[in-house]
Amino acid sequence: MKLDVAGQSALLKLSQVDLEIEQIKNEISKAINSKELSDLSLSLSATSGDVLTSRTNFENLTMEARKADDNLHLVEERIARDVERLNNTSSPKDAQAMQAEIESLTRRKGELEEVELEVLDRLEKAEAELKEVSSLREQLASQVSALQESIQAQVDELKNRGRKLTADRETLISKIPAEILEKYKNLAAKTIAVGQVQNRACSACRMGLTASTIDSLSALAEDEIGNCPECLAMIVR
């Protein structure tokens, strides 16, 4: 198969450019399917359930605390009213009944104060827990978005290189006759399509070549393309 030296050099370069494009595609796919990102995203979505549970708990306890406080105030108001009535009554019988009610209300007040303290204690813990899970979630969310940005930057950079190589590829193709290009495409679909003899080996498959193969490749005319007997790559100068 005949191809002038400039064409051979374009053919070799085309093969290198295509390998590089393939590598870039692999790198893009690897970057997009980042395991680190999918692990982080999983952790992030797991925290959304935790935050919801903590927030619901916190809100329920806030309502409970408000209710406990209301109950306490009601009893305090009743005690205040009874004390006032006690001070204003002239009937010893009423005074006795009032006294008894005040005592009972005061016991109730003590119980309600305990309830309120206990609820406030739980509320404080729930608030701390909500803060903790929310801050973990924010931390994870910012890690996810930083990683997404860095992956995007990496992919953009790879795509730029890919676009430049694709443009180079068009220029190279225009220097190669259709028949050789066809053969190149068939070979490149399976293996590295173009090589050179380097250190007595084929640069495409890295296999050592026999002395007689090297002799016959060297004996070819300058514009003749040989083939590697091992991998069938087209051997250029």
User: Which residues contact Zn ion by CB under 5 A?
Assistant: 202, 204-205, 228, 230-231, 233
CB-based contacts of 129, cutoff 8 Å, min separation 6: 54, 57, 58
Nearer to Zn ion, 64 or 230 (CB): 230
Nearer CB in complex with Zn ion: 119/204: 204
Residue 230 CB, shortest distance to Zn ion, in Å, is 4
Exposure string over 4-41, b if 16+ CB within 10 A, otherwise e: eeebbebbbbbbebbeebeebeebbeebeebeebeebb
Minimal distance, residue 231 CB to Zn ion, in Å: 3
Residue with the two structure tokens 């393309």? 225
**Least separation in angstroms between CB 203 and Zn ion:** 8
Closest CB 209 distance from Zn ion, rounded Å: 8
CB nearer to Zn ion: give 49 or 208.
Answer: 208
227 has which bridge partners? Answer: 234
> Which amino acid would we find at residue 152?
Q
Q: 130 or 202, CB closer to Zn ion?
A: 202
Nearer to Zn ion, 68 or 234 (CB): 234
> How far apart are alpha carbons 73 and 67 in whole angstroms?
10
8 and 184 in contact (C-beta within 8 Å)? no
Read off the tokens for 201.
């080996």
d(C-alpha 31, C-alpha 195), whole Å: 30
CB of 187 to Zn ion, least distance (A): 11
